Structure 1
């Protein structure tokens, strides 16, 4: 459970629509960065060769919350280079009973702001320690943002990708 909380909290701190006319820098021909917009955590992809119960459980939690229309983590990247994260992860209450998992959607959230820049697939932002940090991201199908687990924590999240969908 501690690893799951750490994963979700880490995702909060990682202030982290493509089109056919996109260049390799993540910008479309109008110079508008494809990262600009609102992104919601919708899935945790776990590599089928990874045997990690904590990652599998985290994936189940995210799937359950998506099924009840509960957005756990939302990133908003603004064109002016600012970003805001809104996360309910710190307020999760996971109950296991006879009927299985019961995870009510938290009503409280934590909001944090930062600045960001994107060079190719390298997202740079100011982390919680007020230090510049760079992670590798990827875009899929114009509305999917992928943050590899290795970019979050190579020791604990290898074999998983955090999947955000553009709203």
Structure 2
């Protein structure tokens, strides 16, 4: 069950990387966010010893080696965010040959609006309150802290996205 929550966290991290209604933000930071990003890793605080987080890290690494992206975010210059999330469609099989995790063929897609102000990413989805997340954007790496998604369950983890 905890693995399901971890996978849900990763999916939410991607969804929450979208922002509001400003389409005229041409700052360097917002321009750096433009493009397609794929979930490539999670970082875990060394002081945190959480088997579920460690297992999620292994799953992401395994699927990356198979050229399978679990979560893809596309930040467009029109201020829209398109996300594709395969986490809810993961199938983890354990057999005599070991662990088998096929790349999901189904995904959940969502469209949102985004605005970046400094390191504050605001995501707006119709019918919901805006979500503001503090991000780290450094070249081709985008990091979203787990505490921004769920402070009770993901303290010490960060979702890492790499620009494609």
The TM-score range, normalised by the shorter chain, is: 0.7 to 0.9
The residue correspondences of 1:13-162 to structure 2 (distance < 5 A) are 13-16=15-18, 27-28=27-28, 33-127=31-125, 130-140=128-138, 142-162=139-159
Partner SS state of residue 149, structure 2: helix
The question of whether the paired residues in 2 share the 8 Å contact of 1:13 and 1:127 is answered with: no
Gaps of 5+ in 1: 17-24
Aligned-residue CA RMSD in angstroms? Answer: 2.0
Say which is worse superposed, 106-115 or 31-40, in terms of deviation: 31-40
In structure 2, do the counterparts of structure 1 residues 136 and 26 end up closer, same or farther at CA, with 3 Å as the change threshold? Answer: farther
The question of whether the paired residues in 2 share the 8 Å contact of 1:124 and 1:134 is answered with: yes
- Cα deviation for residue 152 of structure 1 reads 1.2
Partner SS state of residue 7, structure 1: helix
- Cα deviation for residue 127 of structure 1 reads 4.3
Per-residue CA deviation, residues 60-86 of structure 1 (Å, 9 max, x unaligned), is: 111111010001100000011111001
What is the distance in 1 between the residues matched to 2:115 and 2:54? 31
- Please identify which structure carries the higher helix content: 2
Gaps of 5+ in 2: 19-24
In structure 2, do the counterparts of structure 1 residues 155 and 127 end up closer, same or farther at CA, with 3 Å as the change threshold? Answer: farther
What is the distance in 2 between the residues matched to 1:47 and 1:26? 34
Partner SS state of residue 38, structure 1: strand
Aligned residues: 156
What is the distance in 1 between the residues matched to 2:62 and 2:145? 21
Partner SS state of residue 33, structure 2: coil
The question of whether the paired residues in 2 share the 8 Å contact of 1:13 and 1:128 is answered with: no
In structure 2, do the counterparts of structure 1 residues 150 and 128 end up closer, same or farther at CA, with 3 Å as the change threshold? Answer: farther
